Amino acid sequence: MDRTRISALWKEWRGTLLFLLLMCAFRSSFADIYNVPTGSMKPTVVEGDRVLTEKMAYDLRLPFTPVVLWHRADPQRGDIVVLYSPEDGMRLLKRVVAVPGDVVAMHDETVSIDGVPMQYLGPLQGEGDALPDVSSYEFKQEDLTGHRHAVMFTPGRPALRDFAPVTVPAGQYFVMGDNRDNSKDSRYIGFIPRAAIAGRAFAVGYSLDPTHHYLPRLSRSFQALH
């Protein structure tokens, strides 16, 4: 291909290429959409949800790099975060349960922070409506030091329901899935380094139902996450 042809192609496509580059940079540093492949955050987030993530909620990073340009904030208890597993580097969606300095424990499914058991209240009306086998689960609202959100339990399923008090080290976080009996979280993979947290999930953009030919779940679209 001669230089004239290359120059003509560049003039024709440079606008499109620049747009794609800017879009990739935006998704790298500012906001992204996360396709949820597993049910570890049910009933808050279910398989097929496309979750909107604010990547600069905590840090503004140089596009396409881990370099932090601006440290804005730190994750708080109750935040739903996108993170990279320290075990295998896989991208996960979990809830921050304990922050640096907290003493976290669990006894018979009840989380405690600094020796204070969290409150568990009755479920909200309609909780679990997106699940085909809702009768198999138990739903509650967990009051995580003022942040109330839904959690789900599976009676009879083997799971880690108890662990002794541990202190969250500086620069680390303890995360769990809202699907408490079916989530590979800090109970199994350990504390999450601050640098491994990539952003905060804040809403379901749209949802496709994998059990019904990926038809849209209109009722879940544009729903804020709590």
pLDDT band at 40 (very low <50, low <70, confident <90, very high): very high
| 18 vs 49, residue with greater confidence | 49
Tell me, what CATH number does 79's domain have?
Answer: 2.10.109.10
Q: How large is the average pLDDT for residues 42-66?
A: 87
CB 143 within 8 A of CB 121: yes
> Active-site residue 94, yes or no?
yes
CB 137 within 8 A of CB 131: yes
- How many CA atoms lie less than 13 Å away from 66 in the CB half-sphere? 7
Q: Which domain holds residue 196?
A: 3-224
Identified catalytic residue from 40, 183, 186, 207: 40
Identified catalytic residue from 42, 55, 94, 140: 94
Q: What is the pTM of this model?
A: 0.86
> Active-site residue 42, yes or no?
no
Largest CA distance in the chain: 73
User: How many structural domains compose the chain?
Assistant: 1
For 83-135, how does the pLDDT look when each residue is reduced to its tens digit (9 = 90+)?
A: 999 999 999 999 999 999 999 999 999 999 999 999 998 876 666 666 666 77
Decide the pairing of beta strands 163-167 and 172-176: unpaired
Residues 6+ apart with CB under 8 A from 113: 77, 97, 98, 102, 103, 104, 144, 145
Query: What's the distance, CA 25 to chain centroid?
Result: 21
